[in-house]
């Protein structure tokens, strides 16, 4: 099988830390070209990773480079236009989260993918952690019965110091768009994407003016399941705190730490595996698995496991969270 030729647009932190290094670990993919408007960064990073085809304008890359697909790792405000241009150029696309700033922008990208019959994937790497994939299989095989409550959250320092990151008109939001979208996606994915009935959120602006730095939400599903989510850049914790607990009618499981309890008659039995990767290893594997999945989807070996359609629906829930926080009451969907 020929190698899939991929171009990366945007050579910021996520490209440098995960996407570029991962290509060396995937034999059936070739990092063919990169595009970056910062010319100094373009030359430095291209030299470091030995990328021959380098462009300061992504449209020039689309015209001159024989690539099959594109990874978009630029600021959120640019996602819509870049993605649509790539899809119209006949390229399959992987967009880093968040897919867009709004539901309407996300819909335009999805519509372009459908019109051009191209694959559209959104970078929700938490789905590709080995532990979360195992938990999804537990749910599918009814190990914990019917899941009815998810308690989840992510508390850590602000993910980027770039100026655009805390400007709502450019980023689309604050900690909800940064961390909440990841946790929400993971919870919905583990619950097999139930219909949402209502959202209630409270946002706080302790250290940021333009966007929220702490958010607490209760999300109710039509099947009676409930998701309780808290995300923050500003809560005082000793170290990054990422957690997810799922409670079902026959047991429960959690990650960070990984635990599995199953109800047998009147007792709960601890079925936690003795060997579990540490969080750093899981983080690295998640991005590598994500890229492998994208390559597999391009080659027709597997479906797109985090498709644009799901990301578009997720944006509708995110917008309801912001509306609830602004209006200070529950929003029905």
- What confidence tens digit (pLDDT) does each residue in 130-148 have? 999 999 998 999 999 999 9
CA 127, CA 185: separation in Å to the nearest integer?
8
CA distances from 287 to 15, 26, 177, 284 (A): 11, 12, 19, 6
CA distances from 283 to 125, 126, 189, 290 (A): 8, 8, 18, 11
Higher pLDDT, 6 or 256: 6
Residues 6+ apart with CB under 8 A from 21: 49
Asked whether residue 78 is domain-assigned, the answer is: yes
User: What percentage of the chain exceeds 70 in pLDDT?
Assistant: 100
Q: Are 255 and 127 in contact (CB under 8 A)?
A: no
Q: Are 314 and 188 in contact (CB under 8 A)?
A: yes
If asked whether residues 135 and 58 sit together in one domain, one would say no
- The domain in which residue 196 lies consists of 127-286+313-332
CA 240, CA 155: separation in Å to the nearest integer?
6
Note if the pTM is more than 0.85. Answer: yes
If asked whether residues 172 and 257 sit together in one domain, one would say yes
CA 6, CA 22: separation in Å to the nearest integer?
12
Q: Are strands 214-221 and 226-232 parallel, antiparallel or unpaired?
A: antiparallel
Q: What is the mean pLDDT of residues 239-254?
A: 94
Backbone φ, ψ for residue 228 (5° rounding): -110, 120
- Can you state the percent helix, strand and coil of the chain, rounding each to 5? 40, 25, 35
Q: Are 131 and 276 in contact (CB under 8 A)?
A: yes
- In a 10 Å sphere around its CB, with 0-12 CB exposed, 13-18 middle and 19+ buried, how is residue 234 labelled? middle
Tokens of 81: 């236009």
If asked whether residues 117 and 142 sit together in one domain, one would say no
Asked whether residue 14 is domain-assigned, the answer is: yes
Tokens of 123: 């970078």
Residue 280 pLDDT exceeds 90: no
Residue 276 pLDDT exceeds 70: yes
If asked whether residues 154 and 101 sit together in one domain, one would say no
Cis amide bond preceding 98, omega within 30: yes
Handedness of CA 275, 268, 244, 313 (dihedral sign): positive
Distance of CA 44 to the CA centre of its chain: 27
CA 87, CA 91: separation in Å to the nearest integer?
5
Residue 164 pLDDT exceeds 90: no
Residue 155 pLDDT exceeds 90: yes
If asked whether residues 254 and 207 sit together in one domain, one would say yes
Asked whether residue 308 is domain-assigned, the answer is: no
pLDDT digits (tens, 9 = 90+) for 290-308: 999 999 999 999 999 999 9
Residue 247 pLDDT exceeds 70: yes
If asked whether residues 148 and 217 sit together in one domain, one would say yes
Q: What is the mean pLDDT of residues 38-64?
A: 97
Higher pLDDT, 271 or 102: 102
If asked whether residues 97 and 119 sit together in one domain, one would say yes
If asked whether residues 158 and 9 sit together in one domain, one would say no
CA distances from 209 to 62, 140, 168, 204 (A): 38, 43, 10, 10
pLDDT of residue 1: 63
């Amino acid at each position: 099988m020929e190698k899939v030729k991929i171009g990366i647009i945007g050579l910021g932190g996520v490209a440098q830390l995960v996407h570029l290094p991962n290509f060396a670990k995937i034999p059936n993919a070739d990092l063919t070209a990169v595009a970056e408007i910062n010319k100094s960064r373009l030359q430095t990073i291209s030299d470091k990773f030995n990328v021959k085809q380098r462009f300061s304008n992504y449209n020039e890359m689309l015209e001159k480079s024989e690539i099959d697909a594109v990874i978009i790792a630029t600021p959120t405000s640019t996602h819509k236009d870049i993605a649509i241009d790539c899809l119209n150029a006949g390229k399959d696309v992987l967009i880093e989260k968040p897919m867009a700033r709004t539901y309407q922008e996300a819909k335009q990208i999805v519509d372009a993918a459908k019109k051009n019959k191209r694959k559209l994937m959104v970078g929700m790497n938490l789905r590709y952690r080995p532990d979360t994939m195992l938990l999804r299989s537990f749910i599918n095989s009814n190990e914990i019965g019917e899941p009815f409550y998810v308690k989840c959250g992510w508390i850590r320092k602000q993910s980027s110091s770039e100026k655009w990151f805390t400007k709502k008109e450019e980023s689309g939001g604050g900690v909800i768009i940064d961390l909440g979208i990841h946790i929400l996606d993971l919870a919905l994915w583990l619950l097999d994407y139930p219909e949402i009935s209502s959202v209630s959120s409270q946002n706080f602006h302790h250290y940021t003016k333009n966007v929220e730095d702490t958010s607490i939400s209760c999300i109710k599903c039509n099947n009676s399941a409930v998701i309780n989510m808290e995300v923050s850049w500003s809560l005082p914790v000793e170290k990054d705190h990422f957690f997810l607990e799922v409670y079902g009618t026959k047991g429960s499981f959690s990650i960070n730490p990984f635990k599995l309890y199953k109800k047998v008659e009147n007792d709960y039995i601890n079925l936690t595996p003795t060997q579990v990767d540490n969080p750093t290893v899981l983080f690295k594997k998640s991005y590598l698995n994500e890229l492998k999945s994208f390559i597999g989807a391009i080659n027709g070996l597997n479906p797109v496991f985090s498709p644009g359609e799901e990301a578009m629906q997720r944006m509708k829930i995110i917008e309801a969270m912001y509306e609830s926080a602004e209006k200070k009451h529950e929003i029905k969907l």
